[in-house]
Amino acid sequence: MLPFIQSFFVVAVLAVPLILVWQWQRAQALCLPPGPKWSWVAGVDIPKLYPWRTYTQWKDEYGDVVYIYAFMNSIVVLNSIEAISDLLEKRSGNYSSRPVRTMVQELMGWDWLFSSMSYGNRWKRHRNLFQKHFPINGTSEHHPLQIKQTHALLRDLEHSPTEFSHHIRRTAAANVLDITYGIHIDEKISENGDDYVKLATSAILPFSRAGIFGTYMVDYIPALKYLPLWCAPFKRKAKEWRKPAQALVNRPFEVVQTKMENGTAIPCIVAHELDDIALGRGTTDLQVVKNVAATTFAAGADTVVSALQSLFLAIALYPNVHDKAQKELDRDIGFRKALAVFPNVWAVFHDPELYPDPFTFNPDRFEDNVIGKGLSASGVNEIPNAAFGFGRRMCPGRWFAFDFLWISVASILSVYKITEATDVNRHPIDLIGELYSSGLVSHPLPFKCQIEPRSPAAKALIEETNMEA
Q: Are 185 and 256 in contact (CB under 8 A)?
A: no
- CA dist 91 and 105 (Å) reads 26
In a domain, 192, yes or no: yes
Tell me: the pLDDT tens digits for 246-286? Answer: 999 999 999 999 999 999 999 999 999 999 998 888 778 89
Winning range, highest mean pLDDT, from 29-33, 243-247, 328-332, 401-405:
243-247
In a domain, 15, yes or no: no
Which phi and psi angles does 236 have, rounded to 5°?
Answer: -65, -40
- Quickly state the pLDDT bin for 336 (edges 50, 70, 90): very low
pTM above 0.85, yes or no: no
Q: What is the mean pLDDT of the chain?
A: 81
Contacts of 9 (CB under 8 A, 6+ apart): none
- Quickly state the pLDDT bin for 98 (edges 50, 70, 90): confident
Winning range, highest mean pLDDT, from 120-124, 141-145, 245-249, 322-326:
245-249
What is the maximal distance between C-alpha atoms in the chain?
A: 76
- Quickly state the pLDDT bin for 374 (edges 50, 70, 90): very low
- Quickly state the pLDDT bin for 41 (edges 50, 70, 90): low
Looking at residue 237, what is its pLDDT? Answer: 95
Number of domains in the chain: 1
Q: Are 342 and 77 in contact (CB under 8 A)?
A: yes
Dihedral angle sign, alpha carbons of residues 358, 361, 367, 373 = positive
Looking at residue 92, what is its pLDDT? Answer: 76
Looking at residue 68, what is its pLDDT? Answer: 85
Looking at residue 383, what is its pLDDT? Answer: 62
Looking at residue 384, what is its pLDDT? Answer: 66
Would the annotation count 395 as a binding residue? yes
- CA dist 112 and 293 (Å) reads 10
- Beta-carbon-side half-sphere exposure of residue 388 (alpha carbons within 13 Å): 16
| Least confident window among 34-48, 116-130, 237-251, 416-430 | 34-48
Looking at residue 1, what is its pLDDT? Answer: 47
Average pLDDT score over residue span 47-74: 85
pLDDT over 90, % of the chain:
26
Answer whether residue 238 shows pLDDT above 90.
Answer: yes
Answer whether residue 379 shows pLDDT above 60.
Answer: no
Residue 134, domain CATH: 1.10.630.10
Region at 318 (left for phi over 0; alpha for psi -120 to 50; beta for the rest) = beta
What contacts 24+ positions apart, CB below 8 Å, involve 156-163?
156/187, 157/412, 157/416, 157/451, 158/453, 158/459, 158/462, 161/450, 161/451, 161/452, 162/448
Looking at residue 16, what is its pLDDT? Answer: 57
Answer whether residue 371 shows pLDDT above 50.
Answer: no
In a domain, 111, yes or no: no
pLDDT over 70, % of the chain:
83
Residues 321/327/330/331 CA torsion (nearest 10 deg): -130
In a domain, 117, yes or no: no
Closest residue by Cα to residue 177 from 244, 273, 252: 252
Annotate 243-259 with three-state secondary structure: HHHHHHHHHHHHHHHHH
Residues 22/24/30/34 CA torsion (nearest 10 deg): 160
Looking at residue 235, what is its pLDDT? Answer: 94
Tell me: the pLDDT tens digits for 340-365? Answer: 676 777 788 788 887 788 888 888 77
| Least confident window among 24-33, 78-87, 100-109, 155-164 | 24-33
Average pLDDT score over residue span 291-305: 89
In a domain, 210, yes or no: yes
Contacts of 224 (CB under 8 A, 6+ apart): 102, 217, 218, 232, 234
In a domain, 6, yes or no: no
- CA dist 84 and 330 (Å) reads 39
Measured between its terminal Cα atoms, the distance across the chain in Å is: 66
- Quickly state the pLDDT bin for 446 (edges 50, 70, 90): confident
- Quickly state the pLDDT bin for 332 (edges 50, 70, 90): low
Tell me: the pLDDT tens digits for 66-90? Answer: 888 877 778 888 888 888 888 888 8
- Quickly state the pLDDT bin for 433 (edges 50, 70, 90): confident
- CA dist 292 and 288 (Å) reads 6
- Quickly state the pLDDT bin for 46 (edges 50, 70, 90): confident
18 or 148, greater pLDDT: 148
Roughly what angle, to the nearest 10 degrees, separates helices 398-415 and 319-332? Answer: 100
Average pLDDT score over residue span 238-243: 95
In a domain, 4, yes or no: no
In a domain, 68, yes or no: no
- Quickly state the pLDDT bin for 469 (edges 50, 70, 90): low
Domain that holds residue 334: 123-468
Q: Tell me the DSSP string of 137-159.
A: T-GGGGHHHHHHHHHHHHHHHHH
Average pLDDT score over residue span 120-140: 86
Looking at residue 25, what is its pLDDT? Answer: 52
Contacts of 124 (CB under 8 A, 6+ apart): none
- CA dist 287 and 289 (Å) reads 5
Looking at residue 378, what is its pLDDT? Answer: 46
